[in-house]
Structure 1
């Protein structure tokens, strides 16, 4: 059995006789103290309630609407570097750390042994040689456009069902979020260092799904099917669950981390008590350091609680680089991959106990935490305002919650008490069978996904040169992304299909302004 790496000690070896206490009230027993904002006085509360109220007048922009991230918003020209700017209110000292972190984010790691000792330790199995390789220009990844396309940033997550009482207890207790494939680990590694085979190649087959809109317009969606070929370490478990992932854009992460948990939890309605068909629920995970339950905020299924945890997982799982938080120099290699475990590592004792010792992880996290959100465009354009009204009327704002005000107590002063417009509730929602990957992770079922933020979505083509959306890039434009919505979003999706072409154009124009 191979377990996912939730605790910071890396891959775990558990005593066979361990007794795991199943916490049936994991979230409820620990969430009470974060369900009320403790950072606001009465005056602040009134201000927050006023500025975060839903829009009602669509004849003009709301106050401060153009500044999507408050005082942190970047007003730089929206070009290909639009997602790579630092917070507008960052100090000179912070700007220096941001630039150093940017260099480390782009750093190309090499296999061991190497003459460049500060850069070796790659793999031995990996998906990318740098953080930038997945988050292209700090933006959105995409699936391969042809079978030969290597300029992509997409991989397959792997796991198997919990079969034993012990494994089920680990998942119920949140000691683990998933059970990894016994031989191939948590994700398929399609690259390897010299002298070692890669794990395999992802194969995608698309089938056309014709859709007829209310006005008779014909749309062809493409439905993907995933498989793995050229396996390098023998057969996979027959019950393996495959889930594709493209890299998310990086902007505004520090501000998401600065949202008070109470504001996210206020949107929960797991039993649809209000009868609106929307049943968002929080993702609860264990903090890697304290082992206490905290909100999951990051990743397609909200399985990571912090930027640091997400970054350490990416260093280990994507690049095969150990860090102080996950000191596993063999990355995602499993105990069944003997050739992988026989390869040299990049640990240099004179530099530290991991391949990316402090302050490397600190600086990369600082960089990720302080990437700015670009200023909105055309907020007063009549077509954009009409599209915004349709966005609300269709019910899109029920999950893509427009506004929050960040906590006054968040660690970094630049993030404090900012009115931000991420257009997400950061909760898990059932998106229907069409988008289901069938792979549960923590609190997220195989049908559930975290609502992705929409800020910056209109600049995807400018920054990344494509318009592929959703967790696996199957949607080739924003309309296709909407048409894939199901489950809790079915009603909103159906309202869009019933719109006239002019109305759909207005809606898309609004999204492109974000």
Structure 2
């Protein structure tokens, strides 16, 4: 039965346009209804251009498009946002230093600041072929069981403080992989091959990661757990070939739903921020109090180096961690462009027709008990935040935690059309191998193979319209 709108309003709930709320609905029914909720492709849906809800950035679509505070923040909250921005941009230095609030870097690290990887709060990129300068890309390390390297740890660090050697450099080259459309057109894809200049332990492999965009993270956190789980179908009970599953993590209060990172390996923005401080910069927090970051027992020089946690406190205090977390939670999502353009609408219809929306779920409503600036929002992230098997072509060499090598969290698509404007490149996927959105689609396999093949079977002008739609996000 349909629940009366008056009852919803009395309960303080928000009606989601185009997605009526019903009672006694099975998760499978709800999944099918939400995915198929858009029926009219002749015009943009209500509020569709405000893909980040009321906090959407409606004014800046230049290089700073990903760096603006949510429009829903109060004057006081904007102050905390800009303080957090200062910590996010802070270049940490080697201990001991006269700048006590900024020392403790390393001893091994990948970047001196959060901004060092998340340039302009946007998407990272791989190094040029033959170049070992990773900049906004790093490599996690794991064996066939998901365990870290016993010598190098969880992450391969390519930088070190003075007087200490880095773990090494990784150089990349690309092997050409041709893809031929049914119409005879051939596109040359590229598959990366990585060569470290250090010997990893037996069975341990490099798994590449470019820095993902920072926008809208707080809205991810505000989606009710049940709304995400409604799309999970780990046994493929409906037989559609798509079996997204939740990545459950161990937390202090029990299991936590993974929402963040390429493999959904973190459940909260605060946890994700603390992990980055620990692994990327070698900085301690109350969540990861070890003063030497990812140094292993085998790295005695690293563990014996001077650190910056005065009075046995963390190098990144809880106040600083909270500010960075608030900043990351409230970076505004840019508004859609050209939502009523005829080709964009046609591309949207084809995107739905190819069933890309089975994983890239267009919209969610945030929870009524989320923080004030993020509650009861209709948002359009184009993700289900679940793990999916994307096939051998995109697989890591080894698993990461509870995620198998070929499993990836569906990456949100909002903001993807501004990548070149913000970051000056169009490198996509977890390792930046795709040089365009078209190449990114053609690499889809596993559960996404049918959608990829449907895209490939479209006429060239239809494929161009799908790309035009993606560029509008």
- Of 494, 498, 509, 2:453 maps to 494
> Is 1:362 matched with 2:345?
no
Cα deviation digits, residues 152-179 of structure 1 (max 9, x gap)? 31111001234xxxxxxxxxxxxxxx42
- Quote how far apart the aligned CAs of 1:207 are: 0.4
Hey, what's the Cα distance between the residues in 1 that align with 2:204 and 2:133?
Answer: 25
Q: Which residue of 1 aligns with 2:424?
A: 465
> Is 1:223 matched with 2:182?
no
Residues 186 and 70 of structure 1: CA distance in aligned 2, closer, same or farther (over 3 Å): same
- Of 103, 107, 110, 1:124 maps to 107
Question: SS of the counterpart of 2:155?
Answer: coil
Q: Which residue of 2 aligns with 1:312?
A: 274
Hey, what's the Cα distance between the residues in 1 that align with 2:440 and 2:9?
Answer: 38
Q: Which residue of 2 aligns with 1:260?
A: 224
| Cα RMSD (Å) | 1.7
> Is 1:58 matched with 2:37?
no
Q: Which residue of 1 aligns with 2:444?
A: 485
Which range moved further: 400-409 or 432-441?
432-441
Asked whether the equivalents of residues 143 and 399 of structure 2 are also in contact (C-alpha less than 8 Å), the reply is no
Asked whether the equivalents of residues 124 and 196 of structure 1 are also in contact (C-alpha less than 8 Å), the reply is yes
Asked whether the equivalents of residues 389 and 446 of structure 2 are also in contact (C-alpha less than 8 Å), the reply is yes
> Is 1:143 matched with 2:126?
yes
- Of 209, 214, 238, 1:250 maps to 214
Cα deviation digits, residues 170-218 of structure 1 (max 9, x gap)? xxxxxxxx42110000010000000000001112121000111122211
Q: Which residue of 1 aligns with 2:27?
A: none
> Is 1:161 matched with 2:144?
yes
Q: Which runs of 5+ in 2 are unaligned?
A: 1-7, 22-33
Q: Which residue of 2 aligns with 1:199?
A: 167
Hey, what's the Cα distance between the residues in 1 that align with 2:327 and 2:9?
Answer: 28
> Is 1:399 matched with 2:330?
no
Q: Give matches, 1:363-512, under 5 Å.
A: 363-410=323-370, 412-512=371-471
Question: SS of the counterpart of 2:393?
Answer: coil
- Quote how far apart the aligned CAs of 1:43 are: 8.4
- Quote how far apart the aligned CAs of 1:373 are: 0.1
Asked whether the equivalents of residues 232 and 245 of structure 2 are also in contact (C-alpha less than 8 Å), the reply is yes
- Quote how far apart the aligned CAs of 1:237 are: 1.2
Q: Give matches, 1:23-102, under 5 Å.
A: 44=13, 47=16, 49-50=19-20, 54-102=37-85
Hey, what's the Cα distance between the residues in 2 that align with 1:152 and 1:499?
Answer: 38
- Quote how far apart the aligned CAs of 1:148 are: 3.4
Hey, what's the Cα distance between the residues in 2 that align with 1:152 and 1:214?
Answer: 38
Hey, what's the Cα distance between the residues in 1 that align with 2:445 and 2:11?
Answer: 40
Asked whether the equivalents of residues 40 and 408 of structure 1 are also in contact (C-alpha less than 8 Å), the reply is no
Asked whether the equivalents of residues 13 and 368 of structure 2 are also in contact (C-alpha less than 8 Å), the reply is no
Hey, what's the Cα distance between the residues in 1 that align with 2:192 and 2:161?
Answer: 30
Asked whether the equivalents of residues 128 and 172 of structure 2 are also in contact (C-alpha less than 8 Å), the reply is no
Question: SS of the counterpart of 1:206?
Answer: strand
Aligned length: 452
Question: SS of the counterpart of 1:161?
Answer: coil
Q: Which residue of 1 aligns with 2:286?
A: 324
- Quote how far apart the aligned CAs of 1:339 are: 1.1
Asked whether the equivalents of residues 174 and 193 of structure 2 are also in contact (C-alpha less than 8 Å), the reply is yes
Hey, what's the Cα distance between the residues in 2 that align with 1:264 and 1:220?
Answer: 36
Hey, what's the Cα distance between the residues in 2 that align with 1:220 and 1:90?
Answer: 45
- Quote how far apart the aligned CAs of 1:59 are: 0.6
Residues 450 and 41 of structure 1: CA distance in aligned 2, closer, same or farther (over 3 Å): farther
Residues 43 and 253 of structure 1: CA distance in aligned 2, closer, same or farther (over 3 Å): closer
Question: SS of the counterpart of 1:390?
Answer: helix
Hey, what's the Cα distance between the residues in 2 that align with 1:314 and 1:137?
Answer: 17
Q: Structure 2 length normalisation: TM-score?
A: 0.93
Q: Which residue of 1 aligns with 2:24?
A: none
Q: Which residue of 2 aligns with 1:272?
A: 236
Q: Structure 1 length normalisation: TM-score?
A: 0.85
Cα deviation digits, residues 279-326 of structure 1 (max 9, x gap)? 000000012x33x10100001000100000000000000001111111
Cα deviation digits, residues 431-472 of structure 1 (max 9, x gap)? 000001132223321110000000000000000000000000
Question: SS of the counterpart of 1:121?
Answer: coil
Q: Which residue of 1 aligns with 2:203?
A: 239
Asked whether the equivalents of residues 267 and 425 of structure 1 are also in contact (C-alpha less than 8 Å), the reply is yes
Asked whether the equivalents of residues 131 and 172 of structure 2 are also in contact (C-alpha less than 8 Å), the reply is no
Hey, what's the Cα distance between the residues in 1 that align with 2:20 and 2:426?
Answer: 35
Hey, what's the Cα distance between the residues in 2 that align with 1:258 and 1:423?
Answer: 15
Asked whether the equivalents of residues 246 and 257 of structure 2 are also in contact (C-alpha less than 8 Å), the reply is yes
- Quote how far apart the aligned CAs of 1:496 are: 1.0
Asked whether the equivalents of residues 283 and 442 of structure 1 are also in contact (C-alpha less than 8 Å), the reply is no
Hey, what's the Cα distance between the residues in 1 that align with 2:352 and 2:124?
Answer: 28
> Is 1:182 matched with 2:144?
no
